Amino acid sequence: MSSDDPVIEVDALHFSFGGYGRRGPLARLGRRDVLRGVDLSVPRGSVTALLGRNGEGKSTLLRLLTGFLSPAPGRVRVLGLDPARRAAAIRRRVGYVPDTQELPRWMRVADWFRFLEPFHPTWSRDEERALCSRLELDPQAKVSTLSKGQRAKHALVAALAHRPELLLLDEPFSGLDPIVRHEVLTAVLGHLRDEARTVVVISHSIADVERIADRVALLEGGRIRLSTDLESLQKSAVRLAVTLRDADAIWAPPGHPASERDGADVTLTYVDFHPAYEDALRTDPKVLGVARLSRDLEDVFRAATRIPEEVLPCAAS
């Protein structure tokens, strides 16, 4: 695997929960299709935010990447390896912070690290100590007594202490107060600063995504609807406030924006904005006025779920 190859390659990935066998009369019994042909490419050294509504399969996708689950069908390569066959080898090189993690009640924070250490040849106690110190995590604390924030820190230290090539974060900031969130974010950013490592993070916080991610991928309807770098998205996404002359007029905007109309007031969100659209609006006789709004990524992503897929920036872009 060369340094230019993507760290993660996913082609036409499908996955369903339930069902009994891949074929046969019971195959569809109780089956729930989650992923319906996911294509995704994550370049080395990037920080990719995986966005999407609850239940869209973001966590499932991460589990597939780590060999937790087996795809059927589809092609997945992580660090050049097939997770279905080389899950153990991948996990040695990947740090994974799950959304929730249950540990034996008898364990202390350091016990879990000592338990993990033999499984990761690259485990660094110096890194472990440094992370614990930075995150103010007491190694002697019982894991059963940790708060939610401390648990997140604990999971993060466990994922980072073996210096993984790829870090997968499944909503690591969820439910954290601003101070802990800041500490965790700082730790992740520190990890990224040290070496050019690849991160895939699931988050519902657009602010956090804007802070750490350089790429975004939107999972919707079992597919990646949008996959692009954040800078391009910020350039191509425009929000316009349009005022119509007649509140009851039938009117269609140019291009394929997501629109929200309240009488004569229409808010248009373009993901693939072109200046010609704005010119067309200003010369439209039904339009009384056009004004640019501040760009809000949250609105952009919400709009991306509503506009036709063919106008969205794809992974190749």
Partner 1 sequence: MRRFLTLVHKEWRDTRALSLVCALLVPLALLAAELGFLDWRGDFAGAYFVPGVIALYLAVIASDLVAADAATGRARSYAMLPVRPATLWSAKLAFLLVAGAAFTVWTLAVTTGLYAAFAPQDAIDLLGRELDHMRTTPLLAIAAVVAATVMWSTVLERGFAAVGAALVTCAALVGACMVVGSRNAELLPEEGVMRGAAYILPALFLAISCLTFVRGPVHASGTLRRLVLTAACLLAVFVPTGAVWAAVALERLHVEPGDPELRVQMHVVSSDGRFATLIAQKRHRDASYHVWTLNLETGQVVALPGRRWNFDWFDASWGDDGLVRLWTQDAGPIDDALRHEIDPATGRILRTRSYAQLRESHETPRRRWLQRQFGEDVDVNGVVHVWPVTEQGTRRSADARVIHHGRPNATWAYVSPGSGRYVSVMDSGSQTIYECATGMRIDTVGASRPRSVLHWPGGGSDDRFAIRYGEEPAMALVDLETGRETPVPGGRADLRILDDHRVLTHTESGEITLLDLTAGTSRVLYAPRRD
Does 189 help bind partner 1 (rule: CB under 8 A)? Answer: no
Q: Please tell me the distance from the alpha carbon of residue 18 to that of residue 26, in angstroms, as a whole number.
A: 10
Closest CB 68 distance from partner 1, rounded Å: 6
Closest CB 307 distance from partner 1, rounded Å: 35
Quick one: CA dihedral 88, 94, 97, 98, positive or negative?
negative
Residue corresponding to tokens 């040695």: 92
Does 22 help bind partner 1 (rule: CB under 8 A)? Answer: no
Task: Answer left, alpha or beta for residue 85, where phi above 0 means left and psi between -120 and 50 means alpha.
Answer: alpha
Burial label for 99, CB within 10 Å (0-12, 13-18, 19+), is middle
Over the Cα atoms of the chain, what is R_g?
A: 22
Q: Please tell me the distance from the alpha carbon of residue 239 to that of residue 119, in angstroms, as a whole number.
A: 50
Return the range that interacts with partner 1 (CB under 8 A); candidates 7-15, 82-90, 234-242, 257-265.
82-90
Strand order in the sheet with 287-293: 258-262, 265-270, 238-244, 287-293
Return the range that interacts with partner 1 (CB under 8 A); candidates 88-96, 123-131, 243-251, 255-263.
88-96
Does 186 help bind partner 1 (rule: CB under 8 A)? Answer: no
Does 84 help bind partner 1 (rule: CB under 8 A)? Answer: no
Does 66 help bind partner 1 (rule: CB under 8 A)? Answer: yes
Residue corresponding to tokens 């924006």: 257
Q: 303: which residues sit within 8 A by CB, 6+ positions away? A: 237, 257, 258, 269, 270, 271
Does 87 help bind partner 1 (rule: CB under 8 A)? Answer: yes
Which of 119, 190, 276, 317 is close enough to bind partner 1 by CB under 8 A? 119
Return the range that interacts with partner 1 (CB under 8 A); candidates 47-55, 114-122, 231-239, 304-312.
114-122
Does 239 help bind partner 1 (rule: CB under 8 A)? Answer: no
> Measured from the CB atom, is 1 or 88 closer to partner 1?
88
Does 153 help bind partner 1 (rule: CB under 8 A)? Answer: no
Residues that bind partner 1 in the complex, under the rule CB under 8 A: 18, 20, 30, 63, 66, 68-69, 87-92, 96, 98, 100-104, 106-107, 115-116, 118-120
